[in-house]
Structure 1
Amino acid sequence: MSTVSDALEALTDLQPDRARVTADILYGLSQRPRQLPSKYFYDARGSALFEQITRQPEYYPTRTELQLLEQCAAEIADVVGPRLHVVELGSGSGRKTERLLHALADPVAYTPIEISRAALLASIARLAQALPAIEMLPVCADFTQPVDLPAPQRPAARRLLFFPGSTLGNFAEADAVALLQAMRQTMGADGMALIGIDLHKDPALIEAAYNDAAGVTAAFTLNLLARLNREIGSDFDLDAFQHRARYSVPRLRIETELVSTRPQRVHVAGRQVDFTEGEAMIVEYSHKYTEASFAALVASAGLRVTAQWHASAPAFALCLLQPA
């Protein structure tokens, strides 16, 4: 039996340090257009704000995926089989994971990989209480970088990588292929990955999801600047940037930006960065897919879709991948 204290003692802490964060930010600001890595959204406040986003009436992906898991969890469990080591990339609150773990037959262990220590500790404490028979092996790390997974005490039949929330869509195509290739290596020859993907639909519905009327998404985006000011000593003026999210139909993606509202100079790690009025920094992509485009993407990484479960309104899918 796994207790909360057991799970917390098993924590592997590989959270990026200040030097790593600073280097990533300086690199992004040197690009044209300027960029900030979306993985740094998730400090304690950012994680809490994202949970609020998932409960906004405009934000359909989370509730749609939760409903889909409710409907299909038993069928998914039959397909993937028993005694799995479940590894989740970017675990967040773990709400979806709990539904999946409850449905699986005799899961051996659960390893959430999450960059936000606060979110990781909160979710693992709750899941350890809810699922005491499953060994909890949390890892605080950037899942886009190689991570050595902890070994369960009880041998698993195979690994199941769980990547919900259409988080894969946050990566540009080349980066998505590289991540899928790394997932293929992590899962092993007999392993699997269950990935949630948001499908192309009415652009107005998609844009509304990233521009909620309550302004929670805007606060979430601007919190990235507040985190950088606090953690690496930059001096972004939050009142001088605005959130903007627009759907590009040709590229099938939401493009979220922070737009400078005036000419200004920002200091980051002793360097000056000048912005013109109206200049935008890219902070996140959220790609949407068709069945054909997703199948082509995973094929590029040496994987294939072996099963799918669909929600129709709004369109969303859970896809099971295995090595090709």
Structure 2
Amino acid sequence: MSEVSIDVHRDGAELTEALRHDVREGLSAPVKWLPSRWLYDARGSELFDRITTLPEYYPTRAEREILATRSAEIAAVTSATTLVELGSGSSEKTRLLLDAGIAHGTLRRFVPLDVSETALAASADAIAAEYPGLAVHGVVGDFTEHLDFLPGTAPRLVAFLGGTIGNFLPGERAKFFTSVRSVLSAGEWLLLGTDLVKDVDTLVAAYDDSQGVTAEFDRNVLHVLRTRLGADVDPAAFDHEAHWDAQREWIEMRLRARHPMTVRIPGANLTVHFEDGEYVRTEISAKFRPEGVRAELTDAGFVVRRWWTDAQQRFGLSLAQVRD
């Protein structure tokens, strides 16, 4: 088994304080919202893993198709000695990159970063067992705050997969890309997965499946408020919906109140009133066009060296290098 080390930059108390801050800000706004990161506790992560196997949810399959056909090329182009994965989760698709990097003869270290220490430890141990000789250095933290703590020697390849970049508002995306650029040296790499604009029916179905798994995943944020902040909210009192915003070209996941109610959240010292039909936005998932991805990366100081899609052109994978 390979060497495993884990650095912790966000503990449970800090996580709860961050949740408290987001709840106060988001649920006090005129149009209520909560950041999508709070969907992903242990239960939420399990539900999302189920979502990725559903027939309606194409992004995971499409991205895996690209990685299966392009990982060897990625390894050859980058010659990366360190693979960094942001928001690593189970690191399932990352194994394709690990296999290719090791086969190419350059990859020596894997650095997964995730906010959940439990999930990260389990994933790191699994990778270490599967890849003897590969150093595994996990980082427990938030990829919007703790990029400065990423270890590894150049050239590094930072992978941000799954279309997670779509959960950022445009200004947040610009800030994130600039942050990634600032911790990389000239010549290092970013591998970015982006879901592409397509027909509305396909998009909406991916976020509102016929089995109701996505609905349960969406309502999981209310379970998080109950367990972490003592909220007296009934998740069953909210309906899940997926709304396509054609102007902004993103999907909004929402929880809509079935009736008027008052929710007390003692852990945030907050009382929230809901009107009948009022909703909370729990996630945005922006969809992209190739020229938009290229422009955003260029503005942040990257040069896009490769652009790939799956056979049906549903999902994009870009390989970008830090400009000299």
Instruction: Report the TM-score when normalising by structure 1.
Output: 0.93
Residue 10 of structure 2 corresponds to residue 14 of structure 1 = yes
Could you tell me which residue of structure 2 aligns to residue 123 of structure 1? 123
Amino acid in the other structure paired with 1:10? I
Structure 2: tracts of 5 or more residues without a match: none
- Aligned Cα RMSD in Å? 1.6
Q: Quote the Cα distance in structure 1 between the aligned partners of 2:23 and 2:250.
A: 23
Moved more, 184-193 or 54-63: 184-193
Structure 1 residue 314, shift from structure 2 partner: 4.7
Aligned AA (2:301): G
Name the counterpart of 1:112.
112
User: 1:295, CA displacement in angstroms?
Assistant: 1.6
Q: 1:140 to 1:157 in 2, by over 3 A?
A: closer
Contact 2:262/2:271 (8 A) holds in 1: yes
Question: Does residue 144 of the first structure (1) align with residue 152 of the second (2)?
Answer: no
Q: For residue 190 of structure 1, report the CA deviation from its aligned partner.
A: 2.2
Q: How does 1:35-46 map to 2 (within 5 A)?
A: 35-46=33-44
The DSSP-based 3-state class of the residue aligned with 1:30 is coil
Which deviates more from structure 2 when the two are superposed, residues 302-311 or residues 158-167?
Answer: 302-311
CA distance in 1, matches of 2:303, 2:280: 35
Is the contact between residue 192 and residue 317 of structure 2 (CA under 8 Å) also seen in structure 1? Answer: yes
Aligned-pair CA distance for 1:148 = 3.6
Aligned twin of 1:102? 99
| Superposition map of 1:1-324 within 5 A | 2=2, 6-7=3-4, 9-15=5-11, 16-82=14-80, 84-104=81-101, 105=104, 106-149=106-149, 151-152=151-152, 156-268=153-265, 269-324=268-323
Q: What SS does the aligned partner of 2:296 have? A: helix
Mapped contact 1:309–1:317 kept (Cα < 8 A): yes
Contact 1:242–1:258 at 8 Å: present in 2 too?
yes
Task: Indicate if the aligned counterparts of 1:42 and 1:115 stay in contact, CA closer than 8 A.
Answer: no
1:126 is paired with a residue of what secondary structure?
Answer: helix
Which sits farther off after the overlay, 134-143 or 15-24? 15-24
The offset of 1:285, in angstroms, is: 0.6
Distance 2:146 2:163 in 1: 21
Superposition deviation, residue 32 in structure 1: 2.5
The whole-number CA distance in structure 2 between the counterparts of 1:297 and 1:187 is: 17
Q: CA deviation at 1:150?
A: 5.2
Aligned to 2:320, the other structure's residue is in SS state strand
The Cα shift of 1:297 comes to: 1.9
User: Which residue identity does 1:28 align to in structure 2?
Assistant: G
Unaligned runs of 5+ in 1: none
User: Residue type matched to 1:67 in 2?
Assistant: E
**Which string of whole-angstrom CA distances, capped at 9 and with x for unpartnered residues, describes residues 212-266 of structure 1?**
1111111111111101110111222111111111222221111111111111111
Q: What CA distance in whole angstroms lies between the structure 2 residues aligned with 1:53 and 1:311?
A: 20
Contact 2:9 2:146 in 1 (8 A): no
Q: Report % sequence identity.
A: 37
Q: Contact 2:79–2:155 (CA<8 Å) still a contact in 1?
A: no
Residues of 2 paired with 1:276 and 1:151: CA distance?
Answer: 48
Contact 2:6 2:140 in 1 (8 A): no
The amino acid of 2:187's aligned partner reads D
1: CA distance, partners of 2:30 / 2:121: 37
Deviates further, 12-21 or 27-36:
12-21
What is the SS of the residue equivalent to 1:10?
A: strand
CA contact (8 A) 2:147 2:180 kept: no
Q: For 1:263, give the aligned amino acid.
A: P
Deviations 1:97-120 (A, max 9, x none): 111011013312111111122321
Cα distance in 2, alignment partners of residues 97 and 149 from structure 1: 21
Matched AA of 2:261:
Q
* Residue identity opposite 2:129 in structure 1: Q
Any idea what the Cα deviations from partners look like across 1:107-156, whole Å, max 9, x if unmatched?
Answer: 1211111112232122212111111221111112111113443545xxx3
Equivalent residues, number:
316
Q: Distance in 1 between matches of 2:203 and 2:27?
A: 28
How far does residue 292 in structure 1 lie from its aligned partner after superposition? 1.3
Q: 1:89 to 1:137 in 2, by over 3 A?
A: same
Q: Secondary structure at the match of 1:137?
A: strand
